Amino acid sequence: MAWVITSCQTKSACQWHTKRSRLSLLEQVFCSRHGIDSTSICDCLHISSNNIHTWNRNGYNLHVMRKYFKESILISIIILASIIFLVACTTTDREDAQEITSPQVSSTPIPPTKTPFPPSPTPIPVVAVVNGDSITVEEYQSELARYKAAANRELTDEDKEIVINNLVELTMLAQAAYTEGFEIDDATLQAHLEGLDSEGQPLADWLANHGYTEESFRDSLRRSLAVAWMRDKIIANVSERAEQVHVQQMLFYTIGQANNALSQLNEGTNFAQLAASFDPQTNGDLGWFPRGYLTVPELDEVIFTLEPREYSDIIETEIGFHIVWLIEKEQDRLIPPDILIKQQQQAVHEWLERRWKLSTIEITPP
């Protein structure tokens, strides 16, 4: 987006757009024939009627010629007599001079001059290009304003980066949707708009309050439907049932505490009672979860190798020192809704990570 950041976003923001009324019909026709936007013509192209004069067929002003003739008639007679005398003496020299000075007229026709190409239209400023599809500065600024209104604070550079990246990811999802076969016609889109208009606040008021025009919202809705379609396609691969475990743990911040607890377990102390003494609120119960749910991979690796009613050795992680106890395990259990949602979000996240690597993306922050 080397050409990207901004141009006049509205006609009222540009000094040239205020001058259209000063253009004559001739100027407007000139602009039209040469592909120039007559709303942005500058004063240097203004054609003044004061520059138009009346000339005779030889290229001279008729009024000036009449005055000149009256004032110099006597001089002309004297000069004419002198010319007659000189012509008789120098006919040969004049013929030679005429041969030398008279321009030669070529019989070869002069090729027509090529008309210059009309000027290219000014590129629309963009903030990013994703696989050839542009995200305009206007779209970015509108989204930034909505983000700011939702956050109710001044935005940081990190916030602005989040907005750009979010627009890039929405574009990638929409592109994939159309590649995978997503389609929506104008009638269906209009039906969605009418459905929104019938819900509570009038749609026109909502659009105005959220910085949308009808056209920009229509485009945004079309993309949102494509994105939703693609998200559904991605998360359809996330199974609602999976192998799951029910686990209880004890977490310590020093290796000495962990060794002391492990010694008590080895001496026959009940795990649940010991865990409750360290964590009276939850008893260390982590509940049921599938493989990959925990954010600490080291725990996942150990837990799914245990058998029911078996506890682990001390597991060191960046959080601390863990001892876990596998209460139950099921090979095909329905995943809890809150965990399923997180897994679906993770599936979309992983898809986007792969897409970032495979896509051609050019970002030029404004």
How many Å apart are CA 255 and CA 321, to the nearest integer?
7
Is residue 1 one of the residues assigned to a domain?
Answer: no
The distance between the two most distant Cα atoms of the chain, rounded to a whole number of Å, is 147
pLDDT tens-place string over residues 348-364: 999 999 999 999 999 99
Q: Indicate whether 231 and 245 sit together in one domain.
A: no
pLDDT band (50, 70, 90) for residue 214: confident
Q: Indicate whether 205 and 247 sit together in one domain.
A: no
Is residue 245 one of the residues assigned to a domain?
Answer: yes
Contact, 130 vs 359, CB < 8 A? yes
- Residues spanned by the domain of 231: 136-235
Q: Indicate whether 211 and 255 sit together in one domain.
A: no
Global pTM reads 0.59
Which range is least confidently modeled, 46-55, 135-144, 238-247? 46-55
Q: Which residue would you say has higher pLDDT here, 166 or 197? A: 166
How many Å apart are CA 86 and CA 297, to the nearest integer?
115
**CATH code at 195?**
1.10.4030.10
pLDDT at 146 over 80: yes
Is residue 124 one of the residues assigned to a domain?
Answer: no
Q: Indicate whether 146 and 210 sit together in one domain.
A: yes
Q: Indicate whether 221 and 306 sit together in one domain.
A: no
How many residues would you count in the chain? 366
Is residue 227 one of the residues assigned to a domain?
Answer: yes
Angle at 18 between CA 15 and CA 21, to 5 degrees: 145
Tokens for 48, please give them. 């003044």
Number of domains within the chain: 2
**Residues 111-124, mean pLDDT to the nearest whole number:** 57
- Among residues 235, 253, 279, the one where a domain terminates is 235
Measured in degrees and rounded to the nearest 5, phi and psi for residue 346 equal -65, -35
Is residue 121 one of the residues assigned to a domain?
Answer: no
- DSSP reduced 3-state for 103: coil
Mention every residue, 6+ apart, whose C-beta is less than 8 A from residue 188. Answer: none
pLDDT tens-place string over residues 298-346: 999 999 999 999 999 999 999 999 999 999 999 999 999 999 999 999 9
Is residue 70 one of the residues assigned to a domain?
Answer: no
How many Å apart are CA 33 and CA 31, to the nearest integer?
6
- DSSP reduced 3-state for 315: strand
How many Å apart are CA 332 and CA 296, to the nearest integer?
23
Q: Indicate whether 144 and 212 sit together in one domain.
A: yes
pLDDT at 33 over 60: no
- For residue 3, which of 117, 120, 118 has the smallest C-alpha distance? 120
Q: Indicate whether 250 and 228 sit together in one domain.
A: no
